[in-house]
Structure 1
Amino acid sequence: MTPGSTFALRRRLLRASIASPALLLAPPLLAGEGSPAGTFDAVVGHTPFDGIPIFASVAAAIAAAPITGGKPFRILVTRGRWHEKLVVDKPDIHLVGEDRTASVLTFDAAAGMARPDGEPWGTWGCASVTVRAPGFRATNLTIENAFDYVGNLAAPKFEPIGPNGAQAVALMLDAGSDRAMFERVDVIGHQDTLFVDAGRSFFRDCRISGSVDFIFGGGNALFEQCELHSRFRPGKERQGYVAVPCTPSAQPYGLTFVRCRLTRDAAIPDDSVALGRAWRPGRTFPDGKYGDPDAVGAAVYLDCWMDAQVDGRGWDEMGYTARDGKRVMLQPGDARLFEHASSGPGAYRSASRRTLPRDRIAAYARERVLDGWVPI
């Protein structure tokens, strides 16, 4: 096939997807995405389209969306590595990738790196994509933080712990986010990959990869049929931690994993990854700064398959600064960390791996976890 005919074919496929996204994208698992009315309002790419505005960046396409929302503003992200630090602060933005692995939203900021004003980004500021508005949706694409975490292990530039270290968030759901939905999305990072810190969110058929605390935060996030993939950390005995919630005590749901698979890089040894640990982040109070006593993390694994990297003890403790300034370890038993019907080589049982009581299983039905929101 000649270069010209390849270009023409790709253009015809993209145009066909405007009339019927199912011709281009994998069949959707949730209703609505492939409906005949599901046309695009903008295209991010380099090929002109009749009647559809085209933009050279994702940020420019988002800027063109109405500020009021009310209906989805659907943006087709064509193949390419779109190196942008994105903040979505308009409601009802829907990003649809042309190709799940080739339509990549990427940036490479770590918490310890300097912002343009010279101050460090910090964990709360380093995300490649930050969502601060309701109704966001991403389908069939990749979101990554490309910071060289392994290179930093070999030649450290940042502190291994603390708010301005090697954390490198790919996706953050920040204050203002609610009803955020992700389907067939890869979220790639190492330390602190996915920061779900606000609102309700739903992930289905996604792949989240990382090492240290790579799914964390205080939001209410439901993961169905997702892959939680642990990445190798050279020279580290404890390879990582999967779920690290800081759920407020009054919030019944935190990080909920249903029929997910916990997988690993081939180099990761057995019994080297914890299911997670409860996080008590430092906050400023009238009497000082210390670990938030109201953060009583909630994380539950339901019917999940676990490879042998999962430690037989399940959960780890995690340190925080107490009100009196002393360093205290928050024990798994002092948080809401449970599992039910785990399977696979990593599904061991021990006193530290609490099973969810049978009379509480029904409480984790999708409609109850999402408090009446029906993702469509």
Structure 2
Amino acid sequence: MDVSLPYKKIGYSTKKITVDPKGHHGCFSTIQSAIDSIPSNNRYWTSINIKEGIYREKLKIPYDKPYIIIQGAGMSKTIVEWNDHATTLQSPTFFTMADNIVVRFISFRNSYNNPRNSNPWAPAVAAMVSGDKTYFYNVGFFGFQDTLWDDQGRHYYKNCLIQGAVDFIFGAGQSIYEECSISVIASALGQGIAGFITAQGRTGENDANGFVFKNCNVYGDGTTYLGRPWRAYARVLFYNTNMSDIVVPTGWAPWYFADHENYIQFAEYGNIGAGSKTNKRVKWLKKLDWTTVNIMASDSFVDNEGWLKIASEI
């Protein structure tokens, strides 16, 4: 199936499904059962409206179910949580594989280490995003290590809250995070141990993917690096972002790629706040000109065909 058909050929939302944890007549009692009810190779926008409540379940949108809108009652009102950690791949509370997905007004939590407890640290993913053209608005992601697996595809996160301590935004997605709150809970790591916000996974110098943080707010407790490379050509830009003093002066770490830092594209531009000073940053921090910054920070970095406008308005 070609899920890249022009949007004018795809029906706008013609079907609405309601999820109510009390299972009232005509409603599904679980979110997954509502997802399962949508036919494979779906060609019409279908909205799953989820009422307020805490839903103890794991969710999966398979690759053959595009054009789904997941809509809760509010980031703090509709919460999906689970506590898997067996393997990183098997742990996500929410896993979306399909293209053309919209998610808004809801939170996903992996409760294995969040709230902090006596469990040993382990990768425990709150959400894994593997489809293309996926839009998140007012969505919360709560975890500790590996909170948000921004795996692959083009994604846009607007007004979201992402919380964690270690590599809690990672993967090889081609993504813009706009006006998002990056909540660091690194004090739980112990005295003198800093966290890491990003672990980007770009594998080749010509790969288009990378993370752009635009007009965001970095805050929390403990101390943190802005990121470290998960793969050799990692690419991350923090732009016009407010950074509190939790950001360590060096800003970035090379992880496995010491002595190969010239491949890494970590950059900062126009940031403010006590943690934004670059005079003590690593020497291999990339200095980008405005033209390059503007290319990465514009919507066209993730959208050159109009999908973002539809996703934000539907």
Asked if the contact 1:233/1:239 (under 8 Å) is kept, the reply is no
- Cα distance between partner residues in 2 of 1:172 and 1:330: 31
- Give how far 1:202 is off: 0.5
Residues 92 and 236 (structure 1), Cα distance of their counterparts in 2 relative to 1, 3 Å cut: farther
Give the residue type in structure 1 aligned to 2:74.
Answer: D
- Cα distance between partner residues in 1 of 2:243 and 2:43: 41
Count of aligned pairs: 288
Could you tell me which residue of structure 2 aligns to residue 100 of structure 1?
75
Asked if the contact 1:310/1:346 (under 8 Å) is kept, the reply is yes
- Cα distance between partner residues in 1 of 2:202 and 2:189: 31
Residues 169 and 331 (structure 1), Cα distance of their counterparts in 2 relative to 1, 3 Å cut: farther
1:364 aligns to 2:296 (yes or no)? yes
- Cα distance between partner residues in 1 of 2:132 and 2:177: 15
Could you tell me which residue of structure 2 aligns to residue 347 of structure 1?
276
Could you tell me which residue of structure 2 aligns to residue 247 of structure 1?
202
1:206-242 Cα offsets, whole Å, 9 max, x none, are 0001000000001111111101110132424233111
- Give how far 1:47 is off: 5.7
Could you tell me which residue of structure 1 aligns to residue 123 of structure 2?
167
Larger RCO: 1 or 2 (CA < 8 Å, sep 6+): 2
1:90-133 Cα offsets, whole Å, 9 max, x none, are 111211101321201111111xx3xxxxxxxx112210011111
2:167 partner SS: coil
Could you tell me which residue of structure 2 aligns to residue 301 of structure 1?
238
Trace 1:190-269 onto structure 2 (pairs within 5 A): 190-231=144-185, 232-249=187-204, 250-265=206-221, 268=222
Could you tell me which residue of structure 2 aligns to residue 7 of structure 1?
none
Q: Gaps spanning 5+ residues in structure 1: where?
A: 1-36, 114-121, 161-165, 281-294, 320-327
Residues 331 and 260 (structure 1), Cα distance of their counterparts in 2 relative to 1, 3 Å cut: farther
RMSD between aligned alpha carbons?
A: 2.0
Q: Which one of the candidate residues 322, 338, 351 is aligned to 2:267? A: 338
Q: Which has the larger radius of gyration?
A: 1
2:33 partner SS: helix
- Give how far 1:358 is off: 2.5
Normalising by structure 2, report the TM-score.
0.86
Could you tell me which residue of structure 2 aligns to residue 151 of structure 1?
117
- Cα distance between partner residues in 1 of 2:305 and 2:192: 41
- Give how far 1:331 is off: 5.4
- Cα distance between partner residues in 1 of 2:305 and 2:252: 30
Asked if the contact 2:68/2:101 (under 8 Å) is kept, the reply is yes
Asked if the contact 1:316/1:332 (under 8 Å) is kept, the reply is no
Residues 206 and 127 (structure 1), Cα distance of their counterparts in 2 relative to 1, 3 Å cut: same
1:61 aligns to 2:26 (yes or no)? no
Q: Gaps spanning 5+ residues in structure 2: where?
A: 1-11
Range that drifts further, 328-337 or 183-192: 328-337
Normalising by structure 1, report the TM-score.
0.72
Asked if the contact 2:218/2:244 (under 8 Å) is kept, the reply is yes
Asked if the contact 1:277/1:332 (under 8 Å) is kept, the reply is no
- Cα distance between partner residues in 1 of 2:290 and 2:18: 48
Could you tell me which residue of structure 2 aligns to residue 15 of structure 1?
none
